[in-house]
């Protein structure tokens, strides 16, 4: 069996890993799982992220249907969609596995 070129991008698990495997997406998803957040609120909550990257991260998550952006007169609220909450469940399961087997992970 061999893996063709088009398989690599079309493989669902690879696609989702590449999307949320960046530096900040997991942190954003984790926060939005609690409640809705404003932009600067997120910026302050996630220590170390730059506004430029936060913007890009949110846009990408929005484009994939994980996050919904709602303008509310002068401010904006970001929240998880149903699909986003579904993803969050998957990541939670993966997190439990990772925590248990983290001994050889440095």
Partner DNA sequence: CTGTATCCTAGCGGATACTG
Partner DNA sequence: CAGTATCCGCTAGGATACAG
Q: Which of 39, 81, 85, 91 binds DNA (CB under 7 A)?
A: 39
Site for DNA in 74-103 (CB under 7 A): 74-77
CB-CB neighbours of 60 under 10 Å: 16
SS3 38: coil
SS3 47: coil
SS3 69: strand
Q: Which is nearer to DNA, 28 or 87 (CB)?
A: 28
Sign of CA dihedral 7, 82, 73, 49: negative
Site string for its own copies, 67-86 (x = CB under 8 A): ----------------x--x
For the bound state, the minimum distance from the C-beta of residue 75 to its own copies, rounded and expressed in Å, comes to 19
Which residues lie near DNA (CB under 7 A)?
A: 22-24, 38-41, 48-53, 55-57, 69, 74-77
């Amino acid at each position: 069996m061999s893996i063709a070129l088009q398989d690599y991008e079309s493989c669902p698990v690879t696609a989702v890993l590449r999307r949320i495997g960046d530096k900040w997406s997991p942190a954003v998803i984790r926060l939005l799982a609690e409640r809705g957040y404003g932009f600067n609120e997120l910026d302050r909550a996630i220590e170390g992220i730059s506004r430029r990257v936060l913007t890009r991260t949110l846009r990408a998550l929005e484009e994939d249907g994980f996050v919904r952006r709602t303008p509310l007169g002068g401010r904006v609220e970001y929240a998880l969609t149903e699909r986003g909450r579904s993803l969050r469940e998957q990541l939670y399961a993966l997190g439990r596995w990772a925590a248990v087997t983290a001994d050889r992970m440095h």
